[in-house]
Structures are given as C-alpha cells and as structure tokens.
Amino acid sequence: MSAVRKDQSRFVAGIAQIGALGMFLVQILRAIPASLRHIAETARQIWFVGAMSLVIIMTCGLFVGMVLGLQLYYVLSIFGGTAALGTVVSLSLYRELGPVVTALLFAGRAGTSITAEIGLMRATDQLDAMEMMAVDPLAFVVAPRFIAGIIAMPILACVFNAMGIFGAHLVGVSWLGLDNGTFWSNMTSSVDVWKDVINGLYKSLVFGGVCTLVATFQGYTTAPTSEGVAYATTRTVVFSSIMTLAIDFVMTAFLM
C-alpha cells in the first residue's frame, strides 16, 4: 500500500514539476524584453556556453565522424556501395546525430555549469539581493542564459557536423582509399539544404531552448544547500537528455 502511495506521489510530483517548468518558461519569455537591456550579459553567456564548449564539441564531432566513417564503410562495402559513404555520413549527422549529440554534450558541459552557477547564487542569497535591489533575476540571470543557449546550440551543431564530416573523410578517403571526388559529389548531390540541414538546425534551436530551460529551472529552484545544488546538476543532465531524445522523436516524425 505504502509503495503504491509512494509511486502515486512521485507521479504527482513529476506532473507538478512539468507544470512548474512550463510556468517557468512563461516567466522567462515575459522577462526577455527586460533582459535586452543586459545585452552585454547575454554576449558573455554566449561566449560562456558557446565558445567555451567548442573544444568538447569539436573533439567529439571528430571522433563520431571517424567512427561513422569506419562502420559505414564496412557495412556499405558488403553491398558494394562505399561510394555512398559521404551521403550516409552527412545525412546521419545533419538529420540526427549533429543536433542530438550536440544537445547531450551541451547538457553535460554547459547545462550543469549553468545549474551550479544559478544554484550557488540561490544558496548565497545573490538572487534575493538582486530582488532587493529591484533587479529582476529572471531578466538579469536567467533570460540571458536562455537566449545564449538558443543562439549557441545551432552554431555548435554546425561545428559538430563539420568536424564529423571531416572525421569521416579522414577515415574514408585518407585512410581507406575512397575517391575524394566521389565522397564530396555524392554528398552534395543528395543532401537537401532545407529538408536536411535546416530541419537539423530547427531541432538544434529547440534543443538549445530545452537544455537551457531545464538547466536554469533546476538552478533557480534548487534547495539552497550544497547537496541541493549537487542534485540539481544531476537532474539537469538526466532531464535534458530524456527531453532531448523524446522531443527529437516527435520532431523527426513531424519533419520527415
């Protein structure tokens, strides 16, 4: 009986969290006009969540592309279709792997630091101090990070895609001997800018909003203790990852 009740209360708490997240999104959207006054802070956050994430995004993109190149070359060679390597790699990256893996990496690198930073601001009364100085923390702290995430994520996904294709080219052309012209010409002839590239960027925009929404929400509502901040950062990674993958499925279904 108690186990059932516990499950019920967890379910209700989960629904309440989703509702609170939705309300938080509305509050952020309302605060965005006021946050435009803090354009320098937004630029600083773009640098922080975007530029500072470049190393991990480029490194992971390179290795993902290299692995894709190896695996697909092996599979395609069974059917004598290695010429399609560039096409398959680029479509995989543009449509799915680029936006999704970038979002997962973003949640782990930038999302956790956003949560920890805002959580510590909560724990040390900095957010209350802003309120007392008649400065809306949603406009000064949260909205700039939200905007920065939405701007940075598509750019990071583009970098990830570029590095991935470079990695696949390294393996397929430079290492395994695929013809360079075949690699590029098949890719450019079969990749559609609107259907493949732009749809991938739409996904990145949404994932950027989701990941920073979760990160800022977890930081803003954290219990003001060191343990609370630790739990909040963990929840950021878990919820961002789950939401990214779930939304990816829904968006893929609609954008196909």
Per CB under 8 A, 250 contacts other proteins? no
CA distance 204 to 215: 16
Binding of residue 39 to other proteins (CB under 8 A): no
* 24-37 core/surface letters (b: 16 or more CB in 10 A; e: else): bbebbeebbeebee
Told to check if 36 binds other proteins by CB under 8 A, we report no
**Applying CB under 8 A, which of residues 26, 133, 193, 256 lies at the interface with other proteins?**
133
Among residues 53, 43, 164, 59, the alpha carbon closest in space to that of 108 is found at 53
What one-letter code names the amino acid at 93? L
For residue 222 the two structure tokens come to 């954290």
Query: E strand or H helix at 195, and its extent?
Result: none
Q: Say how far apart CA 63 and CA 202 lie, in whole Å.
A: 24
Q: Which stretch in 103-111, 130-138, 162-170, 198-206 sits in contact with other proteins by CB under 8 A? A: 130-138
Between 136 and 248, name the residue whose CB sits nearer to other proteins.
136
Does 129 contact other proteins by CB under 8 A? yes
Q: Segment contacting other proteins (CB under 8 A): 49-57, 134-142, 172-180, 211-219?
A: 134-142
Among 130, 107, 139, 119, CA closest to 29: 139
Under rule CB under 8 A, which residues in 87-126 are in contact with other proteins?
A: 120-121, 124-126
Count of residues engaged in binding other proteins, rule: CB under 8 A: 15
Smallest distance from other proteins to CB 27, Å: 11
225 part of the interface to other proteins, by CB under 8 A: no
Contact range with other proteins by CB under 8 A, out of 94-102, 129-137, 145-153, 162-170: 129-137
135: contact with other proteins by CB under 8 A: yes
Q: At what angle do helices 199-220 and 112-123 cross, to 10 degrees?
A: 20
Contacting positions for other proteins (CB under 8 A): 120-121, 124-126, 128-136, 140
